[in-house]
Structure 1
């Protein structure tokens, strides 16, 4: 069966124009002759997520869908921060549903953004069910963490920046939770580079979907579950990654922890475990580049307790 793509390269280009001036053009640094970091952890709110959040809200505003009732979102933390930040910038209220396991560092930042926070359940899926119920009750705009076209197109602007910033790269390593970031980057890059999704073995929604031929529910655990803890890959993300031939590799918690420590000790980059997951594919050998392959690693999240880095 042919699956149609709901997000096109043109959508990503339009998103880039729409969110220009709202998000940072994050820098890249070469850490080795054939390895480059894309420092998306320096984005507003400490992750790539504001790209999609702004594109969703601004698109809704253009269409008259964003009214005084504000927005509602569910998140393991990073998406909630981005949605709350975008809502504050556009002057609308935000109600954010998060699991009870959300790290204190992320909860504190949510409060500073003025969001109304509701903690419920032990994982993202339960928070999402509560957010949908709230949307049905209030008519607020639902801002999905990863499975809306506007979200994916916004995240894809990371890929557009890479095409302008890095000359002649072959591969991009991207951490995967629900799939919004990797779907957007793969759509933006097309045939320019291969895209490899890196997932924790304990939360492998994309790997499982590619093996099964369709998104399926599965268990979520491990050190990166707060940011990469989607129980199921998004349907739009699945269509995009399958169409673009995205590869999948898995890394264990030990590799993620070691990569996070190396990012701090070697580069003074304070990342959360999810933000270190893509790099863990290289440091652990789960992904082994060819001799002349140039690799870009998206370092995607910084919302962590700095005391845990030492």
Structure 2
């Protein structure tokens, strides 16, 4: 009997504080930093983002998204025997205890199932989902909670308009379960550490923070690399599954930049109408962006049972990957 992993629940959460481009531009103007709604939209497609409250950590956002996914799946927290959290902004510096363990505690899970964090920046959710799929197919775990959660506002330099206007906070989650029906059909993961310096936190290394540790991004280099790898990794996943691009019902890419996303759809020969776009509403939420977009499309009825969905992401490291699944 072939064992598959199948998505049976999705959930998401965006913090209450929503900041429009104009509101952010007004805040930056007070620092004599010029930007505008038109400038941000034209370069990214972003219209607004959400920022976590001072007392909210990644685990707090993750728990709300997880509970929403569990409700849809019809499962109780103690039915989960593995939690994987993808995050570049964990609750604790040094990443321990892991945010996954914090989430386990906050969900009230007492079954001593496993919990672990995954770090692949904006590709983190794809990496985490692929890992969960492997565990389920191997018969090691039955019900896995996969979460992407970020509070990127904590690592932004609000004196740098090239980065601070692009990112936001949020969380998304899926419940993956063992099934005899096809679910995740193929995965493909890659990394190239030689490009690690184009998207990083340069003052955080050697286990310590030296000075101010803020996100740094070489925008043109990231754009060029992202456009070159995303269509290729999607094609790789399709080839593994023995499928063609026209069999994709929905392309759900990392929500970073509308121009990158549109380029990927074009290279795959997919119309824009087949791509889920939520970047305009929450900006780049790193590992949270794919499950946020997936949950939005499931709950508004676009993604239906039986649909083939292509999830793909690219992020610092440099990492990229894709997951092809039948919903």
TM-score by length of 2: 0.30
Higher strand proportion (structure 1 or 2)? 2
TM-score by length of 1: 0.31
> Which is greater in Rg?
2
